[in-house]
Copies of this chain bind each other. A is one copy, B any other.
Amino acid sequence: MLIADDQELVRTGFQMILDAQPDMEVVSAVSDGAAAVAEARRLRPDVCLLDIRMPKLDGLEVTRLLAGPGVTDPLRVVIVTTFDLDEYVYGALRSGATGFLLKDSGPTLLLEAIRAAAHGDALVSPSVTVRLLQHLAQPAAPKPLDEPLTDRELDVVRLIARGRTNQEVAAELFVSLSTVKTHLGSIFTKLGARNRVEIAAWAWESGVVN
């Protein structure tokens, strides 16, 4: 087990909790991201407990270096943070973390998360999980449409959502600019959108593009 947190109190708190466990051993506790990477590579602990907000390298960068895509023989990383921000959550998961805990979690969850990570499993704070599940559970029906989009309109939506201009959409669909604008008009009406970015946002939310 390696602990990385810039706050002295948090480090020692974690260490006391973990040292009380017969099956856990803290091999190093550091206060910044660069040291975390160095120690992790030197000691190769089973699990790394990383804060996000740290000097030099933040926890997500450290995770990328230790467990990110392309890393050979990645370590297990559990992110522990005070802040329940979506960017942190998704950033952590993309970086290769196998756990995400808020600091307001009890010690029970902390221990469970570490044991899970040691087995290659992942435990995420319940208050975070509930939001993740919402995204998984309803990739469909973000907006009940009075009138569904036609196939051709969906073609236009998909290209719009990828950042194409009307001219480019016209070229890729082999139609004129006027036609694209006509389809767009229908799309605006049906979705109740006020500009093309709202169309794009709807497309991403509803899973029309991915």
Residues of A within 8 A of B (CB): 69, 86-87, 90-91, 93-94, 96, 98-99, 108-109, 112-113, 116-117, 119-127, 129-130, 132-133, 135-141, 160-165, 193-198, 200-201, 204, 207-208, 210
**Inter-subunit contact A91/B207 (CB<8 Å):** yes
Q: CA A75 – CA B200 in complex, angstroms?
A: 33
Q: CA A61 – CA B164 in complex, angstroms?
A: 31
Of all A-B residue pairs in the complex, the 6 with the closest CB atoms, nearest first, are A90-B207, A163-B198, A121-B126, A116-B126, A122-B130, A204-B204
> Which chain B residues border A138 with CB–CB below 8 Å?
69, 94
Residue of B nearest to A130 (CB): B122
Number of copies of this protein chain within its complex: 2
Q: CA A99 – CA B136 in complex, angstroms?
A: 13
> Which chain B residues border A116 with CB–CB below 8 Å?
126-127, 129
Given contacts A163-B201, A196-B197, contact A132 B126 (CB under 8 A): no
**Inter-subunit contact A195/B163 (CB<8 Å):** yes
> Which chain B residues border A113 with CB–CB below 8 Å?
126
Give the one of A87, A91, A196, A197 with max B CB within 10 A: A197
**Inter-subunit contact B130/A69 (CB<8 Å):** no
Q: CA A123 – CA B99 in complex, angstroms?
A: 12
Q: CA A91 – CA B140 in complex, angstroms?
A: 10
> Which chain B residues border A119 with CB–CB below 8 Å?
126-127
**Inter-subunit contact A93/B133 (CB<8 Å):** yes
Enumerate 14 A-B pairs (CB-CB under 8 Å) in ascending A order.
A90-B136, A93-B137, A94-B138, A99-B126, A116-B127, A119-B126, A121-B126, A122-B126, A129-B129, A135-B210, A136-B136, A139-B210, A163-B198, A197-B197
Give the one of A93, A113, A195 with max B CB within 10 A: A93
